[in-house]
Structure 1
Amino acid sequence: MKKYLFFSASLLLSSMFFYSCSEDDPVNGTARLEVRLTDDPGDYEEVNIDIVDIQINVSDDDSKGWESLPNVRKGIYNLLDLVNDKDTLLVNADIPAGRVQQIRLILGPNNTLKLNGGAIEPLQTPSAQQSGLKLNIHQSVSAGILYTLVMDFDAARSIVTTGNGKYILKPVIRTVLQEAGGSISGVVTPYNFRTAVFAIQGTDTVAGTSTDLMGNYLIRGLSAGTYTVGYAPASDNFNSQNKSGVIVTTGSVTKLDTVALQPR
């Protein structure tokens, strides 16, 4: 219990940060999607792509229903920095639970190729610039679960040389959508103040969040296993407490009974 109180005291100082990340965390019909970019090696010094937008389609209409994901990390990425199991996070956003049909990667005009020897050539990307590169997903996602979509870019197969010495980018991308662990959800009362909630394994605090205005919380992206869930209220009138033996399985939300904080 002393170890838990130590973690409670330190993490309570961070509850404002957790809260800012968790107001739309409680299970409310949304899943969380991370989109990550990685690459297979190519025989170039650099392959730079200019990412300006990422959109998803959860409808059956290929021409409509496209929505941009919020907070895409726009910019120029050198694909050859992302080889040998390295990747980079492009977006982390809530999406509607249900079925993701397609994702679309839209590129800007600043795509370049650095050849061995140092010469830099422009990469023409007609289809990706105009309407975006559409990638089929056709997979279901469940509310409250964190999913990771890896875009595995094959640089070597994606660059075509024309007869007049120009280079065209025709992206060849393999997509893998998978569940990134499981989640824990519940409610804490009273809820007229915030309570920091965190998952602990052994002496390690694995993840944390904070209750919303109705006392709801959701901790996503936990590896399968058994956890202790700690509750640290932002009120001196109530005690910190914990619940042990909470089992998390991949691809599901472990819903806990309502926790009633005990007054001092």
Structure 2
Amino acid sequence: MKLNHFLSFAALTALALTGCSKDPESDNTAKLEVRLTDAPGDFRAVSLDVRQIEVHLKDEKEPDGWQFLTFNPQMVNILDYVNGKSALLVSTDFAPGDIKEIRLILGPNSTVTGTDGFVYDLKTPSGESSGVKLKLDKVTLRQNETFQLLLDFDVARSIKERGNWDKNKKKQERYILKPVIRLVAQALSGGLRGTVMPAAALPQILAIRSSLTPADTFSTAADASGAFRLLGLPSGTYRVELYPTTTAPANEPAYRNAVRAGLVVTSNQETVLAPVSLN
């Protein structure tokens, strides 16, 4: 993979950044996810110093088209995410429109642990001020839709031993990083809806994707009839938590929190939750 104007390897993170969305029907937002998975390599660990993730919203020749995504810098062992596992890096509300590129930024403290148990520095030929850009082909974020960018990192092809490495003098400088990443872009269009009683409780609803660690959370509120709906949800198993925001009148039973677990959401389908009572 060619290293371009920013060794933007922020997409590699072992801890997910949790996102919280508004009711998709009440605003004009889409939702953007960036996730990481990995093809295994012959190492014990590959810890990347992840600093930043950006997307480009304009023609690639326009330098002002880059936009930062909300992300907490952190170290991540990408070998934790192999064999179908993936890490959620970013989950954020985003304005509908086209995305042209994604850029990943890496800090200076990345390391690789060899099969000998020794921890080696992991550097890039042009330093951490250069970068990796991944171009996107016809990616459009639409209102009420979640769009996922999956970064498939190939460890075996990305980490190379230096040709002039001297094991007696510079053991820490054995490996260099030349990222090879396959980018998979897909729209996620699952949904979840239900009804809460009594509507006067004005509950807040959290849909928590419990099949992901750490969990990803989406939120909305019931309308005046007690109905709620969340669109653009990624596939997975969810736990729905409902919290009244008002108190019951003196002559009525008190409002109580409610939880419904084990709800499966799949792409292009809307899961219907049985009516929930908060009394």
Shift in Å, 1:161: 1.9
Equivalent pair of 2:22/2:218 in contact (CA under 8 Å): no
Shift in Å, 1:82: 1.2
Q: Secondary structure at the match of 2:128?
A: helix
Aligned match of 2:248 in 236, 243, 246? 236
Change (3 A) 1:87 1:213: same
Aligned-partner residue type, residue 55 of structure 1: E
Change (3 A) 1:45 1:97: same
Aligned to 1:50: 49
Aligned to 2:175: 167
Aligned to 1:77: 76
1:43-93 Cα distance to aligned partner (Å, 9 max, x none):
1111111110000111113433111101x1421111211111111111111
1:75-119 Cα distance to aligned partner (Å, 9 max, x none):
111121111111111111122211111111100011111111112
Q: Does the alignment pair 1:210 with 2:220?
A: yes
- 1:87-236, aligned counterparts within 5 Å? 87-127=86-126, 129-138=128-137, 139-165=139-165, 166-183=174-191, 194-197=202-205, 209-211=219-221, 219-220=230-231, 221=233, 234=246, 236=248
**Partner Cα separation in structure 1 for residue 99 and residue 77 of structure 2:** 27
Shift in Å, 1:25: 4.6
The TM-score with structure 1 as length reference comes to 0.65
**Partner Cα separation in structure 1 for residue 127 and residue 220 of structure 2:** 40
Matched pairs, number: 212
Q: Secondary structure at the match of 1:64?
A: helix
**Partner Cα separation in structure 2 for residue 126 and residue 253 of structure 1:** 48
**Partner Cα separation in structure 2 for residue 217 and residue 172 of structure 1:** 43
Change (3 A) 1:99 1:111: same
**Partner Cα separation in structure 1 for residue 125 and residue 26 of structure 2:** 40
Q: Secondary structure at the match of 1:129?
A: coil
- 1:9-88, aligned counterparts within 5 Å? 21-23=20-22, 25-26=24-25, 28-62=27-61, 63-70=63-70, 72-88=71-87
**Partner Cα separation in structure 1 for residue 120 and residue 24 of structure 2:** 44
Q: Secondary structure at the match of 2:163?
A: coil
Bigger shift: residues 24-33 or 160-169: 24-33
Higher helix share goes to which structure? 1
Equivalent pair of 1:27/1:218 in contact (CA under 8 Å): no
Change (3 A) 1:128 1:37: farther
Change (3 A) 1:137 1:234: farther
Equivalent pair of 2:23/2:229 in contact (CA under 8 Å): no
Aligned to 1:8: none
The TM-score with structure 2 as length reference comes to 0.62
Change (3 A) 1:115 1:251: same
Equivalent pair of 1:192/1:213 in contact (CA under 8 Å): no
Aligned-partner residue type, residue 236 of structure 1: A
